[in-house]
Amino acid sequence: MFSALKPLPTDPILGLMAAFKQDTNPNKIDLGVGVYKDEQGNTPVLRAVKKAEAFRLENETTKSYIGLAGNLDFCQKMESLLLGEHKALLANRVRTAQTPGGTGSLRVAAEFIKRCNTNATVWVTTPTWANHISLFEAAGLGVKEYPYYDYENKDLLFNEMIDTLKSVSKGDVVLIHACCHNPSGMDLNAEQWEVFAELAKDVGFTVLVDIAYQGFGTSLDADAAGLRLLADTVDELIICSSCSKNFGLYRERVGACSIISENAATADVSNSVLLSVVRSIYSMPPAHGADIVATILGSNELTQEWHQELDEMRGRINEFRGLIKTRLAEAGVEQDFSFIERQHGMFSFLGLNKEQIERLKTEYAIYMVGSSRVNVAGISHGNMDYFVNAMVNVLK
Ligand code: PMP
């Protein structure tokens, strides 16, 4: 049976990771992989996480199954983190399932959408996180793209985006990134969120908000402001969240899928479908990571420590966004890199061509994906001079 299979190409980012690992250049820099890195190039376990883990080791009393929705305390705390004290929560219109990471949440959402409308198309931004497309297609949904990033002017194609979305069908879903757009770093401003939310209400499509970087852009609340505005405006919403980045829990696979319905009764119906979807995919999520998050958010002391660590991570990313712009300008690079400072989160497109990307890799051991998307957190005080010098040479 297996002889019918054809080998598939490796994911370009995994290939890049392997090539980086093998590179013996002592100055090599990895700007490809989408994980936060500190000044030393490490992705450390957060202190608040370590403490919550120690507490859990001491206090865990059973390894018996948790339910389909996972840790209910975690689910409730995630709802507050995402929505604050939103009226949808007060009206008991939100239901949440803990999921294996943000990816698990998106897959659950895809199956949920399919149960609502087998013929639904999911509209994603051009460009978007590549896995969005494969994930929705794998669930048997149609995928279409709407204009989002203007590579030429390093800005949003907002008017084009709105024009395209005006013609989306009522039974379709529009996926939008809440903050720190992956891969462009380009987010909607407050006014644009308002226009988008009104459009969703008027046209009647359903919005899926992917929030994988809450706290990495401006602040925990500011990064969820667009999401909350949407929840103010429309009756139904799907929210896919991830704790991979903001809690640094990548490999523990922690995320959540939250469904906001029109009223408490329809929310119960949505919940029954949500849980049935979960049951048919993985039955129940893993316990460890969600327990850590619930422990942190349940303790003032640990929450404060987590906020500090999140501020440090965001501070470092934003510091280097500013530094890249300034240092390239000081080094005499003619191209304008000020867009890097206007964007949010870990990613930006440097706007380099294939030849320049290849030269950075072969001559300088600086690795980035073929679109010239870089992870800003890969730059440090230690490698900044080397990076600037390499950029000056390939941009000449
Ligand atoms: N959505 C976006 C936009 C992402 O960038 C990512 C991770 N790269 C995810 C979802 C999934 O995150 P997780 O690792 O929690 O599955």
Q: Quick one: pLDDT at residue 11?
A: 81
Q: Which atom of ligand 1 is least distant from the CA of 105? A: 16
Tell me how far the alpha carbon of residue 106 lies from the centroid of ligand 1, in angstroms. Answer: 9
- For atom 7 of ligand 1, the residue with the nearest CA is 212
Among 298, 320, 339, residue at a domain's last position: 298
Let me know if 70 is exposed, middle or buried by CB neighbors in 10 A (0-12, 13-18, 19+). buried
Number of domains in the chain: 2
233 with 340, same domain: the answer is: no
Q: Is 197 exposed, middle or buried, given 0-12, 13-18 or 19+ CB atoms closer than 10 A?
A: buried
Q: What CATH number corresponds to the domain at position 382?
A: 3.90.1150.10
Same-domain status, 285 and 361: no
Q: Do 293 and 311 fall into the same domain?
A: no
Q: What pLDDT, on the 0 to 100 scale, is given for residue 329?
A: 96
**Ligand 1 centroid distance, CA of 153 (Å):** 26
Q: Which of 298, 323, 351 is the last residue of a domain?
A: 298
Question: Which CATH number belongs to the domain containing residue 291 in this structure?
Answer: 3.40.640.10
Assigned domain for 93 exists: yes
Give a yes or no: residue 79 inside a domain. Answer: yes
Q: Which one, of 290, 275, 292, 296, lies nearest residue 101 by Cα?
A: 290
pLDDT at 12: 81
Pair 257, 111 in one domain: yes
What number does the ligand 1 atom closest to the CA of 132 have? Answer: 1
From ligand 1's centre to the CA of 1, what distance in Å? Answer: 33
Test site for ligand 1: of 125, 149, 244, most ligand atoms within 8 A of the Cβ: 244
Let me know whether 245 and 99 are in one domain. yes
How many angstroms does the Cα of residue 227 sit away from the middle of ligand 1? Answer: 17
Catalytic residue status for 325: no
In a domain, 139, yes or no: yes
Q: How many CB atoms lie within 10 A of CB 194?
A: 16
Measured at the CA of 264, the angle between CA 259 and CA 266, to 5 degrees, comes to 65
Question: Cα–Cα distances in Å, from 248 out to 216, 287, 369?
Answer: 11, 16, 22
Q: Among 245, 291, 306, 325, which one carries the catalytic annotation? A: 245
Q: What range does the domain containing 382 cover?
A: 10-44+302-395
Which residue is associated with the tokens 């030849």? 355
Decide if 327 is inside a domain: yes
Residues 6+ apart with CB under 8 A from 145: 123, 124, 125, 126, 128
List, in sequence order, the alpha helices (H) in the chain.
Answer: 12-22, 47-59, 72-83, 87-90, 101-116, 130-138, 158-165, 190-203, 220-223, 225-233, 264-281, 288-297, 300-330, 339-342, 354-364, 384-395
Parts of the chain with a pLDDT under 50: none
* pLDDT at residue number 305: 98
Catalytic choice (123, 129, 193, 306):
129
Active site residue 210: yes
Q: Is residue 129 part of a domain?
A: yes
The DSSP symbol for 67 reads B
The DSSP bridge partners found for residue 373 are 349
Structure token digits, residue 231? 């929840």
Last residue within a domain, chosen from 298, 315, 342: 298
Contacts of residue 122, Cβ cutoff 8 Å, sequence gap at least 6: 110, 113, 132, 136, 141, 142, 143, 144, 172, 173, 174, 175, 208
Q: Check whether residue 156 and residue 257 sit in a common domain.
A: yes
Res 248: pLDDT: 98
Q: Are residues 309 and 335 in the same domain?
A: yes
Pocket test for ligand 1, best of 106, 131, 249, 375 (most atoms within 8 A of CB): 131
For residue 55, is it within any domain? Answer: no
50: in domain: no
Same domain, 293 and 312: no
- pLDDT at residue 279, rounded to an integer: 98
Same domain flag for 267 and 282: yes
Question: Which amino acid is present at 194?
Answer: E
Average pLDDT along the chain: 97
Contact between residue 48 and residue 302 where contact means Cβ atoms under 8 Å apart? yes
Residue 322's identity, in one-letter code, is G
Is 53 inside any structural domain? no
What is the pLDDT, as a whole number, of residue 205?
98
Mutating to test ligand 1, I would choose from 242, 249, 252 the residue with most ligand atoms within 8 A of its C-beta, which is 242
Q: What is the Cβ-side half-sphere exposure of residue 251, based on CA atoms within 13 angstroms?
A: 3
Same domain, 80 and 39: no
Q: At 98, is the secondary structure helix, strand, or coil? A: strand
- Considering the domain architecture, whether residues 262 and 137 belong to the same structural domain is answered as yes
- Expressed in angstroms and rounded, the spacing between residue 249 Cα and the centre of ligand 1 is 12
Q: Does this model's pTM top 0.95?
A: yes
Shared-domain flag, residues 313 and 193:
no
**Catalytic residue (choose from 30, 210, 223, 291):** 210
